[in-house]
Structure 1
């Protein structure tokens, strides 16, 4: 599959190290890039985004094969592997850069995301209403190289053990049929 045939999804579910580690395990996901989105500030750095003053969220941009995995399937994984009910927070990570957000690439993604949120709220699967923002993607800025594939290179670090591993355990239990072979 060529890059031109792939679709993109841009999602923020807290720390991008966590979100990237989840989505790289899915069949049909070709590439996951950690980065920043949600602000007109150009070329943000990690240090700037961490201040919470740029308006960016930590996000991942997922290049996926829509013939193998659908956008709705990606959203199912997204909502199952972070807390979409906490405003500007995921666990101990607090600030607008950790907000739950879906940056859409087109009207169909916007509609799909809105429908998914309404359905999940109607089902009352979470202890509180979903606060995930749905916005058109203004611009995606890839994060610095040392953030790419972070979990793969640092899995034994305490943060990875305490925060990322439980997300991966949940993913592997709930979405076993969606995992790439050998994951």
Structure 2
């Protein structure tokens, strides 16, 4: 069933298939989609969705993003996969910045106002849900979901 609601959060920091697979299992996250934002003439891969903060606390969303998508070193494709999160609500953006300030993190994500999503074609949406057996899904996405389950299993939709 396709739900028509506008995204109010988006994340970047890795490939959009990995990020969407994570968002799809988080409580309070519905109508996820992948696509791109344009920022400084650079196309950025993002996963976006409608986030219900009454079902998933902002701090939990940020902790998950930090754990799974803000690790690692800079590399040639980092401009395409910046460590960033976008919010549709100015209040959520302010709260996220304040929480991140308290954490004193080296690989801190940028917090930005939500941009206009350019959605990827439908055939690219929900790759892991539709084809979990693909080698890419098994090698790249499944390990992220294993870490997510180990660290935040108590939160996840099953």
Does the Cα contact within 8 Å between 2:8 and 2:89 map onto a contact in 1? no
Residue 33 (structure 1) aligned with residue 16 (structure 2)? no
SS at match of 1:108: helix
Could you say which structure has the larger radius of gyration? 1
SS at match of 2:31: strand
1:80-123 deviation per Cα after TM superposition (whole angstroms, max 9, x unaligned)? 21234644x5xxx82411111112223212212212322332xx
Runs of 4+ in structure 1 over 3 Å off: 84-87
Closer, same or farther in 2 for the Cα pair 1:84/1:37, shift >3 Å?
Answer: farther
RMSD: 2.4
Closer, same or farther in 2 for the Cα pair 1:28/1:137, shift >3 Å?
Answer: closer
Q: Tell me the equivalent position of 1:137.
A: 114
Q: How many residues align?
A: 156
Residue 14 (structure 1) aligned with residue 23 (structure 2)? no
Q: How far, CA to CA, are the matches of 1:162 and 1:99 in structure 2? A: 22
Structure 1 residue ranges without an equivalent (≥5):
41-53
Residue 153 (structure 1) aligned with residue 109 (structure 2)? no
Does the Cα contact within 8 Å between 1:37 and 1:137 map onto a contact in 2? no
Residue 67 (structure 1) aligned with residue 54 (structure 2)? yes
Structure 2 residue ranges without an equivalent (≥5):
none
CA offset at residue 130 of structure 1? Answer: 1.5
SS at match of 1:60: strand
Q: Tell me the equivalent position of 1:55.
A: 42
Q: How far, CA to CA, are the matches of 1:84 and 1:154 in structure 2? A: 26
